[in-house]
Structure 1
Amino acid sequence: MYRPIFLAACALVLTGCSVSVGVGGDKQVSKENFEKGISDALQQSIGKRPDTVACPGPIKAVEGESMRCVLTAGGQKVGLTAKISAVNGTDVKYNVQVDQKPMN
């Protein structure tokens, strides 16, 4: 029962997620912070945390930048897209859209 309810709830667009960026030449959100931020947002939005969120690497803290990631919940994998919506100093806001169907 956990999986279908979790996946159905995840199909919603999550907004208002935010993480801090590292300082230096190119501002970016580390892979670890980005994955944790997505997991935190899902937990806050639907009350459950995915087992894991895996992204291919860090993301540039630039408005409009997006990345495909994969969340795992109850043994099922589901794709998601996270897109940077705003950057204000070291605060980065992004939206997350979870795919409606699990991956094969």
Structure 2
Amino acid sequence: MHRSIRLGLPVLCGLVLTACSVSVSAGNEISKADLEKNISTVLEQSNNGRRPDSVTCPGPIKAENGQTARCFLTGGGEKYGLTVTLSGVNGSKATYDVKVDEKPMQ
């Protein structure tokens, strides 16, 4: 069973969420801005309409199955790590999984 931690927005820690229909650019990558925006949207949808204060990723991610990126979210004054893993790429659309860390960063 997964537990929720309240940060001003409840974050589903340890839960893997799936996002769909991310745009893949002509350079076969998902831009940093698109990745951050889509992660925020997925978290908002899974948290009763509450959006994280911010989501930050280090840069674009190659549009290839299995590629990962380590990103961070902030909410209610706390910072959590999260891992994004591409699970499917089909033409100009990609699907990925988001896993939020169990505990906030120190």
Q: Report SS of the residue matched to 1:17.
A: strand
Contact kept in structure 1, 2:8 and 2:76, CA below 8 Å: no
Distance (whole Å) between structure 1 residues aligned to residue 103 and residue 41 of structure 2: 21
- Residues 34, 5 of structure 1: alpha-carbon distance in 2 compared, 3 angstrom cutoff: closer
Which of 80, 83, 93 matches 1:81? 83
Which of 12, 20, 24 matches 2:23? 20
Distance (whole Å) between structure 1 residues aligned to residue 100 and residue 20 of structure 2: 14
Root-mean-square deviation (CA, aligned residues, Å) is 1.7
Structure 1 unpaired stretches of 5+: none
Percent of aligned pairs sharing the same letter = 51
TM-score by length of structure 1 reads 0.89
Q: Which residue of 1 aligns with 2:104?
A: 102
User: Which is strand-richer, 1 or 2?
Assistant: 2
Q: Which residue of 1 aligns with 2:44?
A: 43
Q: Which amino acid aligns with 2:100?
A: V
Aligned length, in residue pairs: 101
Distance (whole Å) between structure 2 residues aligned to residue 82 and residue 99 of structure 1: 11
User: Which is helix-richer, 1 or 2?
Assistant: 1
Structure 2 unpaired stretches of 5+: none
